[in-house]
């Protein structure tokens, strides 16, 4: 039988924490004011970056227009550097995402995920944009 002290995970050492923070720092390709793509489908703008706290605050301009967010949106969402996949995008790509809208992007994402083929999301968005707006 295991003893209680044997099953409790040990706190990370200062060296481990420093290593994790350095790995996070290397993954961050954006700075405050940059447009970023997140799991939200629509882009946002970086407000703060807290490497040690594993947090990026992202402002989503489109939330001000969503009925379910009126009066409850705090002005930002908290995204994990480790888990959320936040990455920098160009303003031109951000405009394309906003132009297509959440419903179209979400539908396309579902279609791509249901197929067993690999895909490049940015390339798929470009094709979708061209099909909708460059006729």
Q: What is the pLDDT of residues 43-67, one digit of tens each?
A: 999 999 999 999 999 998 876 655 6
Number of compact structural domains in the chain = 2
Q: Is the pLDDT of residue 70 over 60?
A: no
Nearest to 43 by CA among 94, 103, 119, 112: 94
Q: Are 42 and 105 in contact (CB under 8 A)?
A: yes
- Residues 25, 76 within the same domain: yes
- In this predicted structure, the answer to whether residue 31 has a pLDDT above a threshold of 80 is yes
CATH number, position 74: 2.30.30
Residue 75 structural domain: 14-89
Same domain, 70 and 119: no
User: Rounded mean pLDDT of the chain?
Assistant: 87
pLDDT at 85 (0 to 100): 84
Task: Compute CA distances 49 → 28, 34, 80, 85, 99, whole Å.
Answer: 9, 11, 10, 14, 27
Please indicate, yes or no, if residue 1 is contained in any of the structural domains.
no
Asked if residue 40 and residue 71 are part of one domain, the reply reads yes
pLDDT at 100 over 90: yes
Q: Is residue 74 pLDDT above 70, yes or no?
A: no
> Does 131 lie in the same domain as 95?
yes
Q: Tell me, what's the pLDDT at 53?
A: 93
7 found inside a domain: no
If asked whether residues 79 and 109 sit together in one domain, one would say: no
Residue 122 confidence (pLDDT) above 90: yes
> Does 68 share its domain with 106?
no
């Amino acid at each position: 039988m295991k003893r209680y002290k044997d099953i409790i995970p040990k706190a990370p050492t200062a060296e481990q924490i420093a290593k994790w923070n350095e790995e996070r720092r290397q993954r961050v390709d954006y700075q405050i004011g940059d447009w970023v793509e997140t799991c939200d489908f629509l882009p946002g703008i970086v407000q703060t970056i807290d490497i040690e706290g594993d947090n990026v605050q992202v402002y989503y301009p489109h939330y001000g227009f969503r009925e379910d967010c009126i009066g409850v949106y705090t002005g930002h969402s908290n995204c994990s550097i480790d888990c959320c996949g936040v990455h920098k995008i160009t303003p031109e790509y951000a405009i394309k995402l906003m132009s297509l809208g959440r419903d179209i992007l979400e539908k396309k994402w579902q279609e791509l995920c249901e197929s067993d083929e690999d895909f490049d999301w940015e390339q798929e968005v470009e094709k979708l944009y061209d099909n909708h707006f460059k006729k």
